Amino acid sequence: MTTRRWLSVMLLAMSLLVAVGGAVGAAVLTHTANVSDRLADRIAPARTTVGLLDSALLSQVAALRGYVVTGDPRLADSYRRGVEEQQRLQARLRTLLADEPATLRELERAGRLVDRWRAEHADAIFAARAGGASAEQLAPQVGRAVVPFEAARSALVGVVGELDQVRDAGRADLARARGLRDLTFVTILAALLLSGVAGSVLVRVTVLRPLERLGAEVRRVAAGDFHHRLRPGGPADVARLTSDVETMRQRVVDALERSQRDRAALEQQAAELRRSNEDLEQFAYVASHDLQEPLRKVASFCQMLQRRYADQLDDRARQYIDFAVDGATRMQELINDLLTFSRIGRVYGDLREVDLTGLLAQAEANLSRAVEEAGATITSDPLPVVRGDPTLLTMLWQNLLGNAVKFRHPERAPVVDVAVREDAEQWSFTVTDNGIGIDPRFADKIFVIFQRLHPRSAYPGTGIGLAVCKKIVEYHGGALVLDEAYTGGARFRFTLPRPAVAEPEQAAVPGQAGPPGQAGEPAATEPAAR
């Protein structure tokens, strides 16, 4: 026999006992429920609602007095909300007290008094104040409104008194009904206890023990013994449950074996990825040495050819040689810039607390010749201390300032301003210049590697500078964008995270912002085309 069948037999026996006692107690319960419902669903909520109605009236008076004193329109809105709340509460009370005519009459009387106070006093005061009357002029009228308002509140006290009388009578009736109800249920409970003891023994033997045995075996499997097989037993449905759990256990074992195989494959892929990264680093080494040497030879021999046979070459031949030298030199610049771009986040990694003011000064020193020739002016807010790589952050400043100087307006000297703002979790920086600016259509293109907006003959460079800047900022956990709304030149915005431990904004860290180019690395790329 199944567990359901055993439980059905027990429930049938107990149901018969309950039916006998229920027939006796049904009338008592019905009466008790009616009285309780009346008190809980109507009288108690009605009394609470009367209190809320009184609060709504007080809020109207407070808003009225505040409006008279200050003239603040928000207090007028508060008054109107109080009126709406009062009307809503009155409607609710009418519903709750539909079967209490005496109390309902008191409520309607109080409502009429409130309406009269509002029509004769409150609305007139509001209109006068809105029309320009002062608080001193309205003081007598406000004083006269107190008496009718208190009369309305006194009427609400009468409503509360009516509700208290109804509540007390209901409680007395409920106490009598509960006494009779308790006697009935004690009798039913005694019969149920006797049947429950017999039923519990039966359930323990036929149902609970098989379930406990199944639970122990399931816990053994859950503890890690996935190869332990579960043995069916007990009622038919418990036996079926055991078989289902055994099927699930077998599926878990199969999934675990597949997971182990997938993990081994993942580890193999990770090893292959590490080898691939090592190959990429080796390629970078080859590009920085083996590829540049042939380029240097090409440039050197072309220059030697030009010097030795200059008197034998015509203008076109010399031009061809110049093209070859320029192409080789440009290829060397591209390789150097590409190497710098690829090393960000890989080779550079000296993260520490650095003072951006010192790094900005270092970048200005690196660009001193270009700044002097252009007659540029660079201003800056006091910059904070951040956590980052000093070489990369110097490179960031140098590229942004170098671009501002390079792409200057032909009719005015460059002016570059560096500003900073402290946000909740980051620093927000802006670098603004008065140069030729950037068309907003190219706001994304300028950050793509080797993308140029001007011919190389107009502005030198490889077109990688802003791509390097974007990668540096993103490596430090920030973002770099062009301010498309600015039209007085170009303005770049970027963010850097604030250190986990707050540092003083002006605090300097002596000796940490070391000179760029440590460990044989290039200090920064040359300012490139946008």
The confidence band for 416, taking pLDDT boundaries of 50, 70 and 90, is very high
pLDDT band at 496 (very low <50, low <70, confident <90, very high): very high
Helices (DSSP H) in 309-389: which residue ranges? 315-343, 356-366, 368-374
| 94 Cβ contact list (under 8 Å, min separation 6) | 104, 107
172-201: average pLDDT: 77
* Per-residue pLDDT at 516: 38
Percent of the chain with pLDDT over 90: 9
Residue 397's nearest CA partner among 436, 435, 367 is 367
Q: Which residue has the higher pLDDT, 21 or 472?
A: 472
- Whole-number average pLDDT of the chain: 76
Whether the Cβ atoms of residue 331 and residue 297 lie closer than 8 Å to each other:
no
Res 144 pLDDT > 60: yes
Region 353-366 average pLDDT:
91
**Amino acid 288: pLDDT:** 59
Round to whole Å and give the CA distance between 269 and 267: 5
- Per-residue model confidence (pLDDT) at position 511: 36
Name the band, by pLDDT with cuts 50, 70 and 90, for residue 253: confident
Confidence of residue 284 (pLDDT cuts 50, 70, 90): low
Least confident range from 84-93, 284-293, 407-416, 436-445: namely 284-293
pLDDT at 514 over 50: no
Mean pLDDT (whole number) for 47-63: 77
Number of H helices, E strands in the chain: 15, 7
8, pLDDT greater than 90? no
Cβ burial of 181 (10 Å; 0-12, 13-18, 19+) is middle
Q: Residue 6: pLDDT above 70?
A: no
In contact, 60 and 82? CB cutoff 8 Å? yes
pLDDT at 421: 93
pLDDT exceeds cutoff 50 at 526? no
* pLDDT for residue 304 is more than 90: no
What's the pLDDT score for residue 358?
Answer: 92
Whether the predicted pLDDT of 392 surpasses 50: yes
pLDDT band at 349 (very low <50, low <70, confident <90, very high): low
Q: Which residue has the higher pLDDT, 434 or 225?
A: 434
Q: Average pLDDT for residues 369-380, to the nearest whole number?
A: 90
Cβ-based neighbour number of residue 147 at 10 Å: 10
Which SS3 state, helix, strand or coil, does residue 420 take?
strand
Q: What is the mean pLDDT of residues 80-104?
A: 78
DSSP for 36-60 reads HHIIIIIIHHHHHHHHHHHHHHHHH
CA distance 440 to 463: 18
**What is the mean pLDDT of the segment spanning 98-125?**
77
State the pLDDT at residue 508. Answer: 38
pLDDT at residue 509 tops 60? no
111 by Cβ neighbours in 10 Å (0-12 / 13-18 / 19+) ranks as buried
Angle at which helix 315-343 crosses helix 292-308, to 10 degrees, equals: 160
**SS3 state of residue 522:** coil
Looking at residues 319-330, what average pLDDT do you find?
A: 73
User: What confidence category does residue 342 fall into, taking pLDDT thresholds of 50, 70 and 90?
Assistant: low
- Annotate 165-212 with three-state secondary structure: HHHHHHHHHHHHHHHHHHHHHHHHHHHHHHHHHHHHHHHHHHHHHHHH
User: What is the pLDDT confidence band of residue 433, given thresholds at 50, 70 and 90?
Assistant: very high
pLDDT score recorded for residue 285: 57
pLDDT at 239 over 80: no
SS3 495: strand
User: What pLDDT score was predicted for residue 515?
Assistant: 37
The pLDDT of 237-266, averaged and rounded, is 80
Structure tokens at 204: 């323990």
Provide mean pLDDT across the span 493-512: 60
| pLDDT at residue 503 tops 50 | no
Half-sphere exposure of 194 (CA within 13 A, CB side): 8
